[in-house]
Chain A
Amino acid sequence: MLSLVLLQAAAAGLAKLGAGVGAGLASIGAGIGIGNIGGHAMEAIARQPEMAGNIRINMIIIAALVEGVAFFALVVCLL
């Protein structure tokens, strides 16, 4: 009887824990992805400084795409 009440209380807490862990993992994925893009973009600009503008625009576009994927996970965790 008491264990059922405890289980119900635990279930609500577990849901929040799952949401938190999911959002954290999504943030890690986004961080790694965007860090990668940024790093390679820096190297490319260092190799060819006159293409900096072109590279910058492409970097921003791809960073937004990667962040979009992370936001998928965030929305799922919030709801």
Chain B
Amino acid sequence: MKVKVINKYLLLGLIFLMGIMPLKSVASEGKEDGKINVQELVMEHTNDAHEWHITTFHGTKISIPLPVIVKSSTGWHAFMSFRFDEAKNGVYEGLYVNKDGKICEKNSEGAEQRVMDLSITKDVLQLWIVVILLLVIFLYCAHWYKHKSPESDAPKGFVGFMEMFVLFVYNDVIKETIDEKHYKFFAPYLLTVFFFIFLCNILGLIPIFPGGANLTGNITITFFLAICTMLLVNVFGSKAYWKDIFWPDVPWWLKVPVPLLPVIEFFGVFTKPFALMIRLFANIFGGHAVAISLACVIFTTFQLSIVKGATISPISVILMIFMDLLEVLVAFLQAFVFTILSSVFIGLAHQEEEKPQAEITK
């Protein structure tokens, strides 16, 4: 029993220490002539980068350099990103990083021109980590079921937890919203998207490698997920669904001569995935921005005076803990909402034809 208690406190101490780590790294950067620029720090931590910066220890930057793969006017270039730091003026093989952090070259007129950038950046590496984690977790869980018959006991422990989680999404979300004939076809995509978004959000809250990259807070990632949903809804929509968009069962003066409702419905095809994209992006990006800003409050108050810093810091730490717990809830909630809305849209695209109202009232 004593060992269990010690382990519990050790774990608590470790988690507390992990909470302090981002403060150390945030402190050593973003300082221009002593003043901390909060907005710049927030942008630095939420944007994509060509290296994975872990910390800056007494002035020396400790980061994982990532490969840079670009195609410029002089052909393909592939090298590690620390070459930019070593090269003089930051120009390496005719390429340099401009003030927005994008790789550019000087074209023939001497003006700045973006190159085609296919590098492995921080977000890409985080994406691969999430994918590998998902594969490991779910292939392990699937393997557990391989040699069991339906009469054997239910799984316990981690596999039992994953089974409960997957069945929660499968029964309460997918089977409720999509009709009998089609839910098996869409269930893999919906389950994948739920666990991908959930794991991305959770890993974004961990301040250190292998988590901490702002993946679902990157609008390109959410854009792609929304495009996937839009393609699934519209490419596999039934004929009744498309008929309802372009010739709905409404009074004639809404359709001819000016097609009011068809145009509105057609725009609805695009606005619904757009809302999915913005909702996920804004929730996660906002959460990360608030967490980083609360951490910066400590440094700005310490800059004002030691007394002010020492009094505000505990409040800031408590606020940060509260915000992080809220972010865990938001992580699950946003994944859940994305999945349930996607499945509702898919379900709406496969509805049974209803009898026209006139026939029923007769």
Contact = CB atoms under 8 A, between A and B. Distances in A.
A75 B278 contact: yes
5 contacts: A65-B337, A71-B286, A72-B278, A72-B282, A75-B281
A44 interface: no
B337 A61 contact: yes
Contacts of B286: 71, 74
Nearest to A65: B337
Interface in B136-182: 172
A20 interface: no
B24 interface: no
Nearest to B344: A61
A51 interface: no
B119 interface: no
B293 interface: no
A64 B279 contact: yes
A60 interface: yes
Interface of A: 57, 60-61, 64-65, 67-68, 71-72, 74-75
Nearest to A74: B282
Nearest to A60: B333
B282 A75 contact: yes
B9 to A, nearest CB: 34
Interface of B: 172, 275, 278-279, 281-283, 286, 333-334, 336-337, 340-341
Contacts of B279: 64-65, 67-68, 71
Nearest to A70: B282
B68 to A, nearest CB: 27
Of B172, B281, B282, B333, most A-chain CB atoms within 10 Å: B282
B305 to A, nearest CB: 26
Contact of B283 (A60, A61, A67): A67
B337 A71 contact: no
A59 to B, nearest CB: 12
B291 to A, nearest CB: 16
B275 A68 contact: yes
B278 A68 contact: yes
Given A67-B283, A71-B283, A71-B286, A61 B340 contact: yes
B174 to A, nearest CB: 14
Contacts of A64: 279, 333-334, 337
A52 B140 CA distance: 35
Given A57-B172, A61-B340, A71 B334 contact: no
A72 B283 CA distance: 10
A57 B278 CA distance: 22
B199 to A, nearest CB: 19
A60 B333 CA distance: 8
Nearest to B173: A57
Contacts of A60: 333, 336
A49 B280 CA distance: 32
A53 to B, nearest CB: 10
A63 to B, nearest CB: 9
A61 B336 CA distance: 9
A68 B341 CA distance: 12
A68 B283 CA distance: 8
A74 to B, nearest CB: 6
A72 B340 CA distance: 20
6 tightest A-B CB contacts, nearest first:
A71-B282, A68-B279, A64-B337, A75-B282, A72-B278, A64-B333
A71 B282 CA distance: 6
A60 B282 CA distance: 18
A61 B282 CA distance: 17
A71 B281 CA distance: 9
Of A68, A74, A75, most B-chain CB atoms within 10 Å: A68
Contacts of B333: 60, 64
Contacts of B278: 68, 71-72, 75
Contacts of A75: 278, 281-282
B194 to A, nearest CB: 14
